[in-house]
A = this chain, B = another copy of it.
Amino acid sequence: MSPTALIGVDWGTSNVRGFRYAANGEVIETRRLEAGLKWVVAGAWAAAFETHFGDWLQQAPDAPALLCGMVGSRQGWSEAPYVECPAACHALADHLHQVPGTSLRIVPGLCTVDADGVPDVMRGEETQLVGLDVSEPSAVCLPGTHSKWVSFDGQRIDAFQTMMTGELFDILSRHSLLAQMSEPGAADSCAFARGLDRAAGGSGLLHELFGVRTLRLFDKLAATAVPDYLSGLLIGHELASITDLVSADTPVTVIGSQELASRYVTALEHRNRAVQVVDGETAAARGLWRIASRAGMVTSS
């Protein structure tokens, strides 16, 4: 086993990703566990960490460890206070939160407040952003149950917005009248594009959702096409609402896993946006290393 320079952990709501780094910052081992916050019994965080990464610690007792994600939330191991947005990347390294009674540190989340006084938050995504190689003002899209859109130039996280797209898709698919009108089927890219186009028409999401029902009623949409049409409708509305955050000609970086990211790429290209995709795990691993380096936890090579 190569010497461990850093243990990095992205500990989210559902999943845990552990990274063991060599001294040059290279990830020499990755561990993927379905052991996120929702599976951790209150008060049992230290035991959970020991279970998942005890062998790494044993072999490198002096290796520093840096965590990010929901582990730093109020429901997590120890609450890491938010850093306010706009925030320079180094501000994250300057505000690491030490878990009491341990030498572990947690990357703070980010918070922001909009003109209406409504706050927004992220935990974990800030570390993925630091892991990006971006050198000009960009829009970053992080799809998920609650997808996030960020205005970022590689040095400073300027603003961001969270959307309930994924969760709404899920509850509409399972609990609305559309559930009865929908059947699973092969991916239907035409239905997805139709949903995207419909969302651009401007008649409002509440009306367009009812339209899924009437399209079925008049046999203008197949039951197997409903999931992709609905997905296109919701993602289309998401894209329509980010215009305040990012201008139409800003290049977009999508951070995410294969399937969901490709859905957003299709949607963005359908809107004639330039898009690149970065794998979420890679971004998180790189971000943890960079933050640890900036905080002097490791000697960056």
Contact = CB atoms under 8 A, between A and B. Distances in A.
A225 to B, nearest CB: 14
Contacts of A198: 116, 118
How many chain A residues sit at the interface, stated as a range, is 35 or more
A204 B171 contact: no
B201 A163 contact: no
Interface string A131-172: 000000000000000100000000000000111110110011
Given A120-B210, A210-B146, A115 B201 contact: yes
A119 B211 CA distance: 7
A260 interface: no
Contacts of A201: 115-116
A300 interface: no
Interface stretch (A21-29, A234-242, A250-258): A234-242
A225 B93 CA distance: 37
A51 interface: no
Interface string A173-216: 01111000000000000000000011001111111111100110
A234 B167 CA distance: 16
A249 interface: no
A164 B217 contact: no
Given A167-B177, A168-B209, 5 more contacts: A114-B203, A117-B220, A119-B215, A161-B207, A203-B241
11 contacts: A116-B203, A118-B211, A119-B215, A120-B214, A164-B176, A171-B175, A174-B175, A203-B241, A204-B238, A205-B237, A205-B241
